Structure 1
Amino acid sequence: MSATPSTMLEIGTEAPDFTLPSVNGGNLSLKYADQSKGFVVMFICNHCPYVLHIEDELVKVANEYIAKGIGFIAISSNDVEKYPQDSPDKMAEKDYPFPYLYDEDQEVAKAYQAACTPDLFVFDENRKLVYRGQFDDSRPKKDTPVTGKDLRKALDAVLSGEQIPEEKQVPSMGCNIKWKPGNEPDYFG
């Protein structure tokens, strides 16, 4: 299990638009979040130990903040040829309280400069990036409890209109996105 950090997209970046198929049927675009007070775009997948480690608490955080007006959208961009457990039919088995979308051509992951799972991006009601980073400092095989404290602080700041200090934003850490052969992004240097 190799650990890959997030790329830390520049604060203030406007959320890249997309329209992707939902595992529950139909397509969903970023307009889904238009009426929210802010929203989270998460790059996750079914098999990553880092995602599985936070999954239960992520669902709790989502339920809590959805009730407060925050939108949540999950996207899987992994190559399902090599990782069939991340295919849309397997994604549909998840019972998430938020839409779970499939980015087959991996262009949405590239637009967000996503690098790992989980990779979390928080936008304000104006679609401007205000937080990108870790869910919390817990990791698989580490005794630190999973709380979602970093994401919770970011969402509380969005709801109260406060700025989130950039220097306190810690990159997420997880499995690298499983890029299709020849489709690796150029933002890794």
Structure 2
Amino acid sequence: MARTESNMLPLGTTAPDFYLLDTLDNTKKSLQDLKGITGTLVFFICNHCPFVIHINSELAQLAKDYIAKGIKCIAISSNDVDNYPQDSPELMKKNAIDNDFIFPYLYDESQEVAKAYDAACTPDFFLFNNEMKLVYAGQLDDSRPGNDIPVTGKDIRTALNALIENKSISTNQKPSVGCGIKWK
């Protein structure tokens, strides 16, 4: 598996808006429809990436732990489904159900949203405050497939907790690492 690092969108960047298909209910939704009161965690994932498969249960748990605190999670897949059919919208829905995702799993068919966010890999994380300004762009934690470090979500959880408590978030943020987005 190829290892690609995230591009680290500059902190303070305004979240690019989108209008994408939610594969769970087959309706289109915008960022404005889905954003959280306190913050919004947007992450780019896909079905087949071993880095994402490794953290799926933590992604599901994150959403469950933080939704009551005003944080909304939004997953987006931007992979080329012609060459990677395992990432098709139908299989995205199945994956979301199988992993108990309580957040929308959106399909970025044109890949324009991934480009707007400068997303590079799966997983790639972007945490925005209630003004939709980027406050964290980095890894979930130090765990990777095969490195024997437990998946805890430590880095994202630290940033989320600081945002909720209105504390400063460290600008020393490690890039996410995963499979490169499969561009058309």
TM-score of the aligned structures, taking structure 2 as reference length: 0.95
Cα distance in 1, alignment partners of residues 32 and 175 from structure 2: 27
Structure 2 match to 1:36: 37
Aligned-residue RMSD, C-alpha: 0.8
Structure 1 match to 2:179: 175
Contact in 1 for aligned 2:6/2:124 (Cα 8 Å): yes
Structure 1 segment 1-150 matched on structure 2, within 5 A: 1-23=1-23, 24-93=25-94, 94-95=96-97, 96-150=101-155
Q: Percent identity?
A: 58
Aligned residues: 179
Deviation at 1:68, TM superposition (A): 1.3
1:137 to 1:111, Cα distance in 2 relative to 1, 3 A: same
- Local SS of the residue matching 1:21: strand
1:35 to 1:55, Cα distance in 2 relative to 1, 3 A: closer
1:114 maps to amino acid: A
Q: Which runs of 4+ in 1 moved over 6 A?
A: none
Contact in 2 for aligned 1:47/1:85 (Cα 8 Å): yes
TM-score of the aligned structures, taking structure 1 as reference length: 0.93
